[in-house]
């Protein structure tokens, strides 16, 4: 998507998200963003909205884990830390596999969604890495504002395991 309309430049798309006075440019950029698999759904939508997430946190049987991808932190180690807690907790429950079957971890719809992707803008596909300008960064922060407001909550309730401190630091840095 970035290749045709935004000249392989994520910054052009980011700035288009704030196209003041040109609603059509903004709307197109918002639609185009929805076609990028790793950016198409804000965190707030993944969790069902802020109100639902807060309500779920009140339920003692609900658990939540955050695994932040942040520069300067070992993402794979953070995954391992979280998985170690998940496995320890899950293995103590006799209905583990039944729960897994119905969880998002067992989501079979991922394949069809991935098939809809037509192009990549990353450097692995021969494109230059984009750097966001201050305007582009502000536009994306504004677009994902609710997600950034959730990060302190994720930090407080979502970091577990041997690397809990590192997880909290990574979320704090975002």
Which of the pair, 73 or 87, is modelled with greater confidence? 73
Confidence at 156, pLDDT banded by 50, 70, 90: very high
Task: Name the pTM for this structure.
Answer: 0.66
Mean pLDDT of 9-24: 87
Confidence at 155, pLDDT banded by 50, 70, 90: very high
DSSP H stretches of helix in 34-103: 43-46, 50-57, 75-91, 96-102
CB neighbours of residue 77 within 10 Å: 14
Looking at residue 3, its pLDDT comes to 62
Mean pLDDT of 63-72: 90
- Is residue 145 within 8 A of residue 43, CB to CB? The reply is no
Looking at residue 2, its pLDDT comes to 65
């Amino acid at each position: 998507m970035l290749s045709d309309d935004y000249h392989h430049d994520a910054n052009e798309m980011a700035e288009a998200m704030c196209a003041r006075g040109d609603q059509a440019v903004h709307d197109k950029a918002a639609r185009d963003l929805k076609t990028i698999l790793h950016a198409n759904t804000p965190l707030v939508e993944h969790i069902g909205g802020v109100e639902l997430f807060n309500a779920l946190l009140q339920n003692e049987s609900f658990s939540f884990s955050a695994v932040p991808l942040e520069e300067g932190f070992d993402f794979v180690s953070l995954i391992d830390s979280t998985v170690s807690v998940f496995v320890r907790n899950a293995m103590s429950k006799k209905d583990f596999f039944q729960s897994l079957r119905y969880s998002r971890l067992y989501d079979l719809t991922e394949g069809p969604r991935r098939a809809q992707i037509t192009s990549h803008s990353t450097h692995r596909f021969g494109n230059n890495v984009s750097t966001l300008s201050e305007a582009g960064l502000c536009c994306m922060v504004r677009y994902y504002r609710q997600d950034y407001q959730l990060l302190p909550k994720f930090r407080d309730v979502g970091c577990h395991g041997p690397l809990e401190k590192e997880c909290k630091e990574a979320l704090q840095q975002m």
